[in-house]
Amino acid sequence: MYKIIERRMIVPNLHELTVEAPAVAESVQPGNFVIIRPDPLGERIPLSVADWDREAGTVTSIFMQVGASTAKLARLKPGDSVPTYVGPLGKETVIEKVGSVLCIGGCYGIGSIYPIARALKEAGNHVVTLIEARSSFLLYWEDKLARVSDRVFVITRDGTKGKKGHVGLIPDMMERAGIAPRLVIVNGCTFQMMQVSRLTKPLGWKTIVSMNPIMIDGTGMCGVCRLSVDGKTKFACVDGPDFDGHAIDWEEFLARRKSYNPEEADPLRRSSCRSHY
Ligand SMILES: Cc1cc2nc3c(=O)[nH]c(=O)nc-3n(C[C@H](O)[C@H](O)[C@H](O)COP(=O)(O)OP(=O)(O)OC[C@H]3O[C@@H](n4cnc5c(N)ncnc54)[C@H](O)[C@@H]3O)c2cc1C
Ligand code: FES
């Protein structure tokens, strides 16, 4: 069993979860993910790592409550435990000194982009971080990101903080700031990663995205997480989750992701009936 050290809602619907898992904490790297099962009858779901403390043996993720399993996670309290916590899984993000790097985070990706930005900074890059949300009350970890970045930009859909708009503003914002990234790394919702990839392709900015398909085993056995990259079949859990955003078949990916929505609605309803928060 893996002990919950912390579980708190940091902004509406987004939770910070810290789990005691010394073996995972010992070897985890930026870009890895874990698979967690909230209770013995629950399903295994993947979560990206957002931070860790090797000495304390703890690993932190940020998760968004979207369905039955994340609703169960949202009910955990410090001192509770979960039966499954497997990791680190997936290939780590490639960290090299390339010059100027733009790290983009949205939703739970504001958390998972943090260790990537930190490692890129330690590798000697000029790190520019951009975080995006619908409104300022959905932003978090801005100070933490500022400590590992040379500059931080904010975009909110309603203009309550930073630039008003969406990721479509990025090329113009970078041009005005005199920043020409050699590499862009995006962590967040699928739509955001797709939009950024489509924007950066004509600009020739190499773009790496962290893909988030439905997963089951997370070890390359079941094939559920497959996606097409450059016309070839890849498994996000073992070949990724990082891929070249310009080479992904986004339409196919989005269609596969929606395929279990009707089935997922029922466990969510049952879970909501039991919820007490
Ligand atoms: C490698 C990887 C890393 C991930 N990291 C994180 C993370 O750090 N934080 C986090 O909150 N989520 C992360 N996800 C997504 C997370 O695993 C799903 O949100 C979770 O499995 C949903 O489970 P559920 O039972 O609560 O919702 P479900 O009932 O399974 O789904 C509810 C709704 O969420 C949508 N959904 C299902 N799976 C995903 C998915 N993979 N991504 C986005 N939407 C989905 C469904 O289409 C449905 O509309 C990651 C996924 C992968 C593959
Ligand atoms: S989750 Fe089963 S092959 Fe990737």
* 106-161 per-position pLDDT tens digit: 999 999 999 999 999 999 999 999 999 999 999 999 999 999 999 999 999 999 99
Let me know: does 113 contact 241? Beta carbons within 8 Å. Answer: no
Tens of pLDDT, residue by residue over 12-32, are 999 999 999 999 999 999 999
Q: Which of 96-110, 164-178, 243-257, 262-276 has the lowest mean pLDDT?
A: 262-276
Q: Which residues sit opposite 154 in a β-bridge?
A: 131
- Both tokens of 243, joined, read 């891929």
pLDDT category, 61, cuts 50, 70, 90?
A: very high
Of ligand 1's listed atoms, the one at least distance from the Cα of 111 is: 8
Centroid of ligand 1 to alpha carbon of 18 (angstroms): 18
The predicted model gives 94-109 an average pLDDT of 97
Helix (H) or strand (E) holding 45: strand 45-48
pLDDT for the residue 276 = 33
Ligand 2 binding pocket includes 124 (Cβ within 6 Å) = no
Question: Could you report the per-residue pLDDT of 32-43, keeping only the tens digit for each?
Answer: 999 999 999 999
Closest CA to 7 of 67, 83, 59: 59
pLDDT tier at 92, thresholds 50, 70, 90: very high
Q: Give residue 269 CA to ligand 1 midpoint distance, Å.
A: 17
- 181-192: per-residue pLDDT in tens? 999 999 999 999
66 lines ligand 1 (CB under 6 A): yes
Measured distance CA(117)–CA(124) in Å, rounded? 11
Q: Which two tokens stand for residue 1?
A: 């069993």
**Cα dist from 11 to 64, 78, 107, 277, whole Å:** 10, 18, 10, 15
Residue nearest to atom 39 of ligand 1 (CA): 214
DSSP single-letter state for residue 102: E
Find out whether the beta carbon of 225 lies less than 6 Å from any atom of ligand 2. yes
Residue 256: predicted pLDDT: 85
- Which helix (H) or strand (E) is 106 found in, with range? strand 100-106
pTM of the model: 0.93
Angstrom distance (rounded) from CA 32 to CA 51: 11
220-231 mean pLDDT:
95
The share of the chain scoring above pLDDT 70, in percent, equals 93
Q: What pLDDT is attached to residue 264?
A: 57
Q: Cα separation of 199 and 147, whole Å?
A: 28
Q: How confident is the model at residue 270 (pLDDT cuts 50, 70, 90)?
A: low
Q: Which H or E element spans position 200?
A: helix 190-200
Say which ligand is closest to the CA of 216.
2
Sign for the CA dihedral angle at 186, 190, 193, 196 comes to negative
Mean pLDDT of 237-244: 98
> Average pLDDT, stretch 64-72?
96
pLDDT (0 to 100) of residue 237: 97
Work out the mean pLDDT of the chain and round it to a whole number. Answer: 93
Please compute the mean of the pLDDT values over residues 6-15 and round it to a whole number: 97
- 50 CA distance to ligand 2 middle (Å): 21
Q: What is the per-residue pLDDT across 204-219, written as a single tens digit (0 to 9) for each?
A: 999 999 999 999 999 9
Mean pLDDT on 233-237: 97
- Residue 42: phi, psi to the nearest 5? -85, 175
pLDDT band, very low/low/confident/very high, at 267 (cuts 50, 70, 90):
low
Nearest ligand by distance to the CA of 233: 2
Q: Mean pLDDT, to the nearest integer, of 101-108?
A: 98
- The CA distances from residue 207 to 28, 83, 172, 211, in Å, are 23, 36, 17, 12
Question: For residue 133, how far is the Cα from the chain centroid?
Answer: 14
Query: Could you give the CA distance from residue 61 to residue 63 in angstroms, rounded to a whole number?
Result: 6
Q: Which among 185, 183, 135, 178 is positioned nearest to 160, based on CA atoms? A: 135
**Per-residue pLDDT for 62 more than 50?**
yes
What is the separation of C-alpha 237 from the centre of its chain, rounded to a whole number of angstroms? Answer: 14
